[in-house]
Amino acid sequence: MDDQQIEPPAPRPCASCPYRRDVPSGVWDVTEYAKLPLYDAETGLQPGGLFQCHQNDGEHTHRRICAGWAGCHDGDELLALRLAVRSGRIIPETAQATVNYQSPIPLFDSGADAAIHGVRDIETPDSEALRAIEKIRRVRSDLIETEPS
């Protein structure tokens, strides 16, 4: 696999995955939650980009498909998977692993449900969400600190 290809989903969604039911609200920026319902649309209306795991920044050499995304959405209907195979971003086996993925962790039933939960407490995240945010900041080199408004 070359360094431009994206790997299949991890065995389980990461601890801060926005699709997980047990992740506190308000961990991610509102722009990240806004992406989730877009993959609920009919295939031809979906975004063409793969939804990658948030644990690695975009320049990281170990990129993979988000396990929560794979577990929440019907992989057979994901436009991004089809386009990624055609463009060589993923190999057919990675697409099939994504289609077949079953999460061992409870996930939201749709991207819309995950987004509604995620933004609910975005202005006042609880202590559990703040701990998750701090862990992410230690791992992600591409996140920009912003001043609270």
Rounded to 5 degrees, what are φ and ψ at 95?
-60, -45
Q: Is residue 35 part of a domain?
A: yes
Does residue 73 carry a pLDDT above 70? Answer: yes
User: What pLDDT shows up at residue 47?
Assistant: 97
Per-residue pLDDT band at 136 (split at 50, 70, 90): confident
| 83 C-beta neighbours (distance < 10 Å), count | 16
Is 130 inside a domain boundary? Answer: yes
Q: Are 111 and 2 in contact (CB under 8 A)?
A: no
When the pLDDT of each residue in the chain is averaged and rounded to a whole number, the result is 89
Question: Is 107 within 8 Å of 21 (Cβ atoms)?
Answer: yes
Residue 57 resides in a domain: yes
Higher pLDDT, residue 83 or 55: 83
State whether residue 75 is helix, strand or coil: helix
Residue 45 domain flag: yes
pLDDT higher than 90, residue 61: no
What's the structural domain count of the chain? 1
Reduce the DSSP state of residue 129 to 3 states and report it. helix
pLDDT of residue 141: 63
Question: Per-residue pLDDT for 63 more than 60?
Answer: yes
What domain range includes position 119?
30-139
For residues 40-56, one letter each, b for 16 or more C-beta atoms within 10 angstroms of the residue's C-beta and e for the rest, the string is: beeeeebeeebbbbbbb
The reply to whether 34 falls in a domain is yes
Is the pLDDT at 118 greater than 50, yes or no?
yes
In a domain, 48, yes or no: yes
